[in-house]
Structure formats: structure tokens, C-alpha cells
Amino acid sequence: MKTFKDFNIKADTKCFVGDKIKMAKIVNREIVVSDYKLGDTKVYRDGTKCLQLQIKVGADNHVVFTSAIGLIEAIEQVPKEGFPFTTTIIEENDRFLFT
């Protein structure tokens, strides 16, 4: 009988490390963005996307979940070799933006 490892199946998803942190706790603070993942949100059913950010605040790793359009549009333009990068997320006119 075969074992699961005989199938040589590799997980296709990224695993982020650290505690989940709310956006309100990192707004206007310098963070390091290490990676991101974009997928369907589990909260809204209207096709809205969910952005998962792997970040570092000080020496601690965290994961942030958001559907902020400004952040999604901006992060998709960062080339893969641009990671990691330092930024501050600000709230401007009810939108979150990288600075």
C-alpha cells in the first residue's frame, strides 16, 4: 500500500508566521513587509479580495489581513525582488495607503 509521501504532493500555499495583528495597531508605525498573498475574502461575498501581509513590527513577526483597495493595488506593483521593504501604512480619506 502506498503512503501519502509516495505521491510527492507539495503544498502550494505560503505559510506566514506570527500573530495576527489588527490594522489599527500598525497604522502610522514603521513596518517591514516581507511577503504577501492575495486571495478571496471569507468575510464579503461580492468578489472582494483579501490581502495577507507578512510583516515585522520591531523584532516581532505578524500577519495582517485587509481588503483595502489602495494597499492591494500598490502591493501588486512591487516587483518580487523588491521584498522585503520598509513602509508606513497611513489612513487618508478613509483609505489605507503605503508611504
Q: Which three cell numbers stand for residue 78?
A: 512591487
Contact of 38 with 90, CB cutoff 8 Å: no
Report if residue 2 sits inside a domain: no
* 7 inside domain: no
What is the structure's pLDDT at 45? 66
Residue 4 lies in a domain: no
- Name the domain count of the chain: 1
Q: Residue 2's pLDDT is what?
A: 86
> Is residue 84 domain-resident?
yes
Domain interval for residue 53: 16-98
The pLDDT of residue 9 is above 90: no
What phi and psi, each to the nearest 5 degrees, are found at residue 76?
-70, -20
Q: What is the pLDDT of residues 39-59, one digit of tens each?
A: 887 766 677 889 999 999 999
pTM to 2 decimal places: 0.81
User: What distance in Å separates the CA atoms of residue 61 and residue 48, rounded to the nearest whole number?
Assistant: 26
